[in-house]
Amino acid sequence: MMIFVQHRYKGLWGFIHSCCENSQRCYYGLLIRHNDPSVLQNGSFLKIGRFDSKGELLYQDTLESSLIQIADKAIDLIYLKYLKTKITYEHDRRVETYPYARDAIREAIYNALVHNVYMFGVPIQIRIENELIIISNQCVLPEGWTAQTLLEAHESKPYNPDIANVFYRAGYIENWGCGIEKICNSCKGLGADMLRYEIIGNGVRLHFSALKSVLLESDSLTDLDGSNDVGVNVGVNEKNCLS
């Protein structure tokens, strides 16, 4: 580890070329395991932001660590800090329901981590609004693929096969191209609207609509004055949360 610290500001990429027979594999290995992959590639982190109905940023978090650590932290952070659960009772037992299917959000974030084109230097971004979550990352789709192709049954063609292989062996993904099917089934199972894909230039964005029947009244009321006490209490612009 010390040898990488010594080269932190001395051209780490060139150092990798000189020490590794397969420099590309070393590059992906650092992104997956290194605690601060930004020393190798700018933008290799994940941002989460909470926005009000006027589009103003209320609070945010930046996860700057290895891709494996980001995968472990991001889902819990979203569901513990950014979302509220509605409590109902069935047969005298408490039932807690979130407005977004956790399985769908988890699969979408793992897909973004695996397929993101890190050399573009743009972080993965998760925008959370009152009734919408947008997960975006940079991508290079296989030739002839469109947003509609992604929603249909298709084979697995990861842009970063080395990262995909590690995530598969770690149990995060199946590596069969069935991630979108899982997402759609999870949204359908919750009763929420189907997700929408949007491709703009090199960016792909997944739009998740909230299950409106479980949204709390406070979700819309707290944003009328452009403030949100939850963000203030938890911490504004918190960095490296849960590290």
pLDDT tens string 155-209: 777 778 888 888 888 888 886 667 788 888 999 999 999 889 888 888 899 999 9
Q: Please tell me whether residue 204 adopts helix, strand or coil conformation.
A: strand
Write down the residue that tokens 């926005």 correspond to: 51
User: What is the band of 95 on the pLDDT scale with cuts at 50, 70, 90?
Assistant: confident
Cβ-proximal residues to 113 (8 Å cutoff; 6+ apart), any chain: 46, 67, 70, 71, 124, 137, 163, 167
pLDDT at 101: 95
Which of 120, 116, 115 has its CA nearest to residue 156?
A: 115
Q: What is the pTM of this model?
A: 0.74
What are the Cα distances from residue 191, in Å, to 98, 99, 186?
11, 10, 9
User: What's the pLDDT tens digit per position in 56-72?
Assistant: 999 999 999 888 889 98
Q: What is the DSSP string of 28-49?
A: HHHHHH-S-GGGTSTT-SEEEE
Q: What is the mean pLDDT of residues 27-41?
A: 66
Q: The tokens of 170 are what?
A: 């770690």
Which of 108, 136, 102, 107 has its CA nearest to residue 211?
A: 102
Instruction: Please report the domains of the chain, with CATH numbers, ordered by start residue.
Output: 1-41 (no CATH), 45-239 (3.30.565.60)
